[in-house]
Structure 1
Amino acid sequence: MRLSTYEIILPLVGADEKPIEGYALLVNGLYGAMDVVPKEDADRLQAGNFAGLSAALRERLMLRGHITRKDEAGELADLKLFSRIYKNVQGRMGVGLVIMPTYDCNFRCPYCFEQHRLKKGQDWLDNTMSDEMIEAVFAALKDYKARGYVVNGCTFYGGEPFLAKNIGVVKKIAGKCREMGLFMGAVTNGYDLEAYLDFMEEYKLGSIQVTVDGTAELNDRRRLHKNGLPTYDRILRNVELALQRGVTVRLRVNVGKENLHGIKDLVDDLKARGFIAKEEERAKEEAELRKTDLKAKTKRGVFSYYFKATTDDAHPEKNISEQDTIDEMMKIGFTAEEAVARQSQYDMIWYRMNNLFKKESYPDFSPAYCGAETGMLVVDPFGKIYTCWDVVGKDDQVTGYVQPGMSRFLWNFNKAKWRTRTVDLMKACQTCPHALICRGGCASRSSNAHGDYFREFCGEVREIFAFVASRVAGREWEKRCAAAAAGEACMDACAGELTLSLAGPASRFTNAERETIMSTTSQKEIFDIVKATAFLPEPAEAEK
C-alpha cells in the first residue's frame, strides 16, 4: 500500500483568505477525487504511516484512489485507459470550426504572434477566401456531419476577420453557416465593427472577443493601428453598439509589464462608460424573465472582461506571470474570488471544480490540453488547414487542405502528430500528479520554450492549481460546515468527499475489457464496453 503517484496535498484557504486550521485538501490528479481530511491525517499520508489512519478513513481513501495497492505502472495503465476512452468516445467526433476570411489586419500590435505573416507582403495579405473555396469548405463540412462529426459553431478569425472592406466575403461565409444552423462568433479587434452592425442582426452573430490593453494612451500604444490612428475610444464605442444588438462581448486585456499597473484605470473607465452598471441591470432583467421562461434572454448582449498575461516572444523581458495579474487585481480591491473570475487561466479551474462539487458528473479525464489535439479545424483563405490558431500561416504546420471541386478534407501526417500530443503519450507527463490537470500544456508555448511543439509545457499550472483549489475547496468546506452547524445538513463520514472519483468506475473493467479497449481499432467496440460498465453517466449522450 502506498500514496498514489498522482497525489497532491494542499492547505485549505477560507473566504477570509486565511488558512483553515486543522484540515488539508487531498487531490488525486488521476482519478479526480478531492477530499478534506484532518491535517494530522494528511501528515500521516505523506509520511507513509497508513496504520496511523482510522480504519474507516483508510478504507475511504483506498476506494477513492488516494492510497493504492497498484504500483506506478498500474496507475499509469489507468491513465492510458482513460485517455483511450476519451479519444474514442468523448473527444473524437467534435469539431471546433474556425474560418479565416483573410490574413490581413489593420493593426500592428507589437506582441502579435502572427508577425511572420507580414513578411509575405501586402499582395498576399489582401487575399480573401474565394467563392469556390467557401463552397468547398462547406461541402467538406457537410460530408463530415454526414459521417457523424458534430459541428455546432463557427468562429471568424484572422488577421482581422471583420475588416470593413471584407464584409462581402464574411456574409457569404455566414450565409453558409446559417444554412448549416451553426452558432457564429468572432475574434476581432473591433475597430471596423460599425460596418458590421446590420450583419450582426441579420446573421444572428452570437458573440465576439475584443481586446483592449488599458485606457487610451496605453491601449493605443499596444493595440496599434497600422496608420498610427487612435483605437481605444472607437473600439469601446463599437463594443457598446454590438451589445445593443444583443451580441455577447468578452473584453480581453493582454497584460505585460507595460500596462500591469493600468488595470485599475481601465476598470474605472469601464465603470464610467456604463458597461458595468448596464451589465448588472441586464443580468437582473434576465433573472426576472427566466422566472417564467428558463431560456429567456435580454435584448442587450452579455458583457464581461478578463485579463491574460501577454506572451511576447520577441520581447520576453516585458512578460509577466499570470499570478501577477491576480496580485494586481487584489491590490486594487478585488476579492480573490472576483480576481479569479477575471483571469482566464484561473477561472477555468474554479469553474470546473465548483461543477464537480455538485457530484452530477465524474471528473474530466481528457488527455488533451485544448482543441488543437482533439477537433479544432482552422481553415485559412487559401484552403490550408491548421489544428491550432497560434500557428496559422506557418507552412510546416499545415495539417490538411481544402480543394475546390472536392467535398472532403485532405489530411497529411501533421494531423496525426497533433492529435497524438496527449499526456498519455508524453513521457515527461505520464507520471506527473498534474497530468490530467495540465494535460501537457500549450503546444505553441512549448515550441517557443523548447523549439518543439511536441514537448511538455508546464508553465504556471502547479501554482495556478494550488491557488485556486485551496480556495474553492476551502469555501465549499466552510459552506458544508456552516450548513451542518445550522442543522441543515449532517456532517457524516463522507462529508469530506467533495467530488466523485474515477477510481470506482475504473475498477469495473475486467482485464479482458481493458485489453480490448487498448488494442481494438473499433470505436464501436470501445463504446459498447464503456456503456456496459456504465463508466460514463448516460454514455449515449456522450456519443452524440
Structure 2
Amino acid sequence: MGNICTIINGKFSWIEVKKSSKWIKTYPLYINRLVGNLSGFTLVICSARDLIDIIPNEYIKEDGGEIYTVLEDRYSENFNLLEQTNKQKEMLLLKEKEITVFSICPTYSCNMACKYCFESGYNTKKDIISDYNLSRVFNSIENDIGLLRRDNKSHNIRIELFGGEPLQSSTFSVVEKVFYFARKMGCDISIVTNGFALKEYLKLFLLFKSSIAEITVTLDGPENIHNDMRQSKNRKDNPFKVISDNVDLFLKLDFPINIATNMNKSNIEYLDVLFQYYNDMGWVNYNNFSSVIGRVYNRMSKGDDKSLLDEVDILTHIIGIFGESDFPKWLRLGFLKTIEHLSKKMNLSFGQNEYGRFPLEYCWSSSEIISGYYVDPKLNTYRCTCTVGLERYSLGNIRDVNSKSYRYANEWSGNKLFNDYKCRNCNIGGYCCGGCVLEREAKGEKFCDNERNIFKKFVKTIVLPRVYENVRLC
C-alpha cells in the first residue's frame, strides 16, 4: 500500500492506495513533475476517470512515449472505463429527472442587430411560421407527448419559444397559439427573448402566469456596453433602458426572470458594474431572479476571433470579483466545458450544472436526460442550439422525427472518447470528449490544440498555485 494526495471539492486529502509489484501501462495522463517544497512528487490528472492526484515520483514513469504506474487501480488502461461510465449514466438518470423540451422558433427575424449573433451567419429566411406549419408542429408534438406520457404519466415536458426573436409585434398571434397549446397539453412554458417587447406581451403573460417556468433575457453590461453589443435596428431606441424597465416590472409581478450575460473582451471589465446595477435595482432580493454567465462563441469560425475569451479568462475574472467563497446564490456559471469537471474538483464551478450532461460527453446535446428538438418555420428540426438554422445539421422534417431521434444522428450519438482513436489517446480526452461538433468541423486539428491550451492554462493558473499552497498541509 502507498499514500497519495487527491483533490475532491477543493479539499486536499491523503488516501491510502494499492500498489502493484509491476509496472502497468496507464490511460493517457497529464503529468507535471513538481518542484520546490514538493520536489519528489508529481501532479497527475487522469481525465478519463476525473482524478487530480499528487503522487510520489516513484509511482509513475515515462518510457518510450508511454506512461506506466504501480497504482493499478488508479490509472491502469485495463480499468473498464466503459462499464464505469455506463454505471455513472444509470446513476445520473436516477438522480436527475428526465425532461423533454420542444423549442419552437416562430421566425428567424429579430428586432436587434447583436454583434455576435451566430444565426446572422446562416442563410435563413425571416418569414414567420405559417398557421398551416404551426398546426403541423402542434400535431407532431402532441403525438410525441402522447407516447412519452404513455410510458410515464408524470414525464416533465416543456414548450420553449426561441428565435430569432420570438416576442415581436408580428409574432404575437403565433406566441398566443403556442401558449394555448402548452396549456392544453399541460406543459410548462419557457421563453428565450431579448426582452425588448416583454411589456407588449404583459396581458398574455398574465393569463398564462402559472405555466411560465422561465423567461431568459440578455443584458450584456451596463447601458453603454449593452447598447453597443446588442444594438436595436431602430437606432433611436435605448435597448438597455427598455429591457431593464421590463425586467423590473416582470420581477415585481413575480415572473421568473433569468438574465443571461455573454462575455467577450468588450464587456468583461464591466461585469462588476452590471452586478452592482442588479443590486442597486433590488433585483437580487427577489426569489424569482437569477442570472447566468455565458461566453460569446464563434463555433463556425475557421480563424481566431480576437474578441473572444476562453473559459479560464472568464473564470479567473469572476474569482477576482467574488473570491472563492462569497459567490451569490442568484448567480451561476454557464460557460465551462473542457474545464468544467476540473473546476468542480477544485470547488470553483460556482453553481454550474449543465443539466443532463453525461460523463465523458462535451455537452447536453448527446444527453438522454434532456430529449427534444428545435423546430423552425420551415419545419426543419435541430438538436443543438448553435445549429438552429444551419440546415446541414437538421435532424430532418418534423414529420420524420420525434423527441428522441437525435440519439440516432451521427453528430449527437456515440462517445468520441470510445470511438475516436485520437480522443482515446489524448490526455484531456475525458474532459474535452471530442469537443463541439461545429468547432471540430470548422477548425480541425486547431480545435484540439485550442482545447489543450485551455486545459494547460487552467492547470498553470488555477491548479498548480493551489497545489503548492495546500499539499504540504495535508
> Is the structural similarity TM-score above 0.5?
yes
1:139-538 alignment, distance < 5 Å: 139-146=143-150, 151-201=156-206, 202-203=208-209, 204-228=211-235, 229-276=237-284, 278=285, 282=286, 300-311=287-298, 313=301, 316-330=305-319, 333-336=321-324, 343-346=333-336, 348-349=340-341, 350=343, 366-374=359-367, 375-403=371-399, 415-420=409-414, 422-450=416-444, 458=451, 462-463=455-456, 466=459, 470=463
Change (3 A) 1:348 1:417: closer
Counterpart position of 1:43:
57
Question: Quick check: 2:383–2:406 contact (8 Å CA) kept in 1?
Answer: no
Shift of 1:329: 4.0
Question: Quick check: 2:116–2:296 contact (8 Å CA) kept in 1?
Answer: no
Shift of 1:379: 1.7
Question: Quick check: 2:24–2:72 contact (8 Å CA) kept in 1?
Answer: no
Change (3 A) 1:171 1:183: same
The alignment status of 1:133 with 2:123, answered yes or no, reads no
SS at match of 1:378: strand
The CA distance in 1 between the partners of 2:58 and 2:83, in whole Å, is 30
Tell me which amino acid in the other structure corresponds to 1:213.
D
Change (3 A) 1:113 1:421: farther
SS at match of 1:98: strand
Shift of 1:319: 1.9
Tell me which amino acid in the other structure corresponds to 2:145.
L
Shift of 1:223: 0.6
The Cα RMSD (Å) is 4.5
Question: Quick check: 2:106–2:163 contact (8 Å CA) kept in 1?
Answer: yes
SS at match of 2:374: strand
Question: Quick check: 1:10–1:470 contact (8 Å CA) kept in 2?
Answer: no
Counterpart position of 2:104:
99
The CA distance in 2 between the partners of 1:393 and 1:99, in whole Å, is 12
SS at match of 1:428: helix
Question: Quick check: 1:100–1:157 contact (8 Å CA) kept in 2?
Answer: yes
Shift of 1:89: 8.9
SS at match of 2:216: strand
Question: Quick check: 1:101–1:380 contact (8 Å CA) kept in 2?
Answer: yes
Change (3 A) 1:393 1:421: farther
SS at match of 1:252: strand
The CA distance in 1 between the partners of 2:186 and 2:32, in whole Å, is 46
Question: More strand by proportion, 1 or 2?
Answer: 2
In structure 2, the gaps of 5 or more residues are 1-22, 64-68, 350-356
Shift of 1:113: 0.5
SS at match of 1:175: helix
Tell me which amino acid in the other structure corresponds to 1:79.
L
Question: Quick check: 1:100–1:158 contact (8 Å CA) kept in 2?
Answer: yes
Change (3 A) 1:459 1:113: farther
Question: More helix by proportion, 1 or 2?
Answer: 1
The CA distance in 2 between the partners of 1:84 and 1:392, in whole Å, is 30
The CA distance in 2 between the partners of 1:308 and 1:337, in whole Å, is 22
Question: Quick check: 1:24–1:42 contact (8 Å CA) kept in 2?
Answer: yes
Change (3 A) 1:249 1:466: farther
TM-score when scaled to structure 1? Answer: 0.63
SS at match of 1:458: helix
**Amino-acid identity (%):** 19
Change (3 A) 1:98 1:120: closer
Shift of 1:261: 2.5
Tell me which amino acid in the other structure corresponds to 1:240.
D
The CA distance in 2 between the partners of 1:181 and 1:42, in whole Å, is 58
The CA distance in 1 between the partners of 2:185 and 2:40, in whole Å, is 56
The CA distance in 2 between the partners of 1:163 and 1:174, in whole Å, is 15
Counterpart position of 2:353:
none
TM-score when scaled to structure 2? Answer: 0.71
What do residues 294-328 of structure 1 show as CA deviations (whole Å, max 9, x unaligned)?
xxxxxx41323425244384981222223333344
What do residues 64-122 of structure 1 show as CA deviations (whole Å, max 9, x unaligned)?
x24x3xxx4x34xx3344456677996798644322222221111121100145x5444
SS at match of 1:114: helix
Shift of 1:215: 1.5
The CA distance in 2 between the partners of 1:421 and 1:407, in whole Å, is 22
Change (3 A) 1:365 1:398: closer
Question: Quick check: 1:373–1:422 contact (8 Å CA) kept in 2?
Answer: no
Question: Quick check: 2:411–2:437 contact (8 Å CA) kept in 1?
Answer: no
Change (3 A) 1:79 1:303: same
The CA distance in 1 between the partners of 2:295 and 2:402, in whole Å, is 37
The CA distance in 2 between the partners of 1:305 and 1:190, in whole Å, is 15
Question: Quick check: 1:99–1:155 contact (8 Å CA) kept in 2?
Answer: yes
Tell me which amino acid in the other structure corresponds to 1:226.
K
Question: Quick check: 1:376–1:388 contact (8 Å CA) kept in 2?
Answer: no
Shift of 1:456: 9.7
In structure 1, the gaps of 5 or more residues are 13-18, 50-57, 283-299, 357-363, 482-495, 497-544
Change (3 A) 1:315 1:443: same
